[in-house]
Amino acid sequence: MTSWSQITHTFPPRSKGAYLVTSEIEKAISSEVRKYKMGMCNLFLQHTSASLCLNENVCREVREDLTMALDHMAPETLKYKHTDEGPDDMPGHVKSAVMGVSLDIPIRDGALALGTWQGIYLCEHRTYQHRRSVIITIQGEKRK
């Protein structure tokens, strides 16, 4: 029988950058995910100028390079029409649209089944600090 659980987690405010948040997510879901033999965990970020992704979980330079590459892809210097919330807002929307706001991660034996070098990133695309929330939905077969 399939079971469902849902948790909302709010990250502390962060300014622009790519942040490794695997341990924050694991801590937020630990009491629930351990009940599952197998299943899926969906992470849905409720924002339009931030994103989620899986990437290299050891080397800090990867996070710095990712931020640099995204800034190159969607610079603040383009002639955007949507400028009501500042020059960093529309580039944030572009980056979020390209990167995505949702991840699906398998659950195996009560834990997220990430690869050895995989980590969960929260990518904040706005210059100033913002508080971001993620809805975490777990579904699957619970342990007996």
Q: What digits encode the pLDDT tens for the residues 91-115?
A: 999 999 999 999 999 999 999 999 9
pTM score = 0.95
Q: Where are the beta strands (DSSP E) in the chain?
A: 2-10, 17-20, 36-45, 50-56, 102-108, 111-112, 118-124, 133-142
Is pLDDT of 125 > 90? Answer: yes
| Structure-block tokens of residue 55 | 């990437």
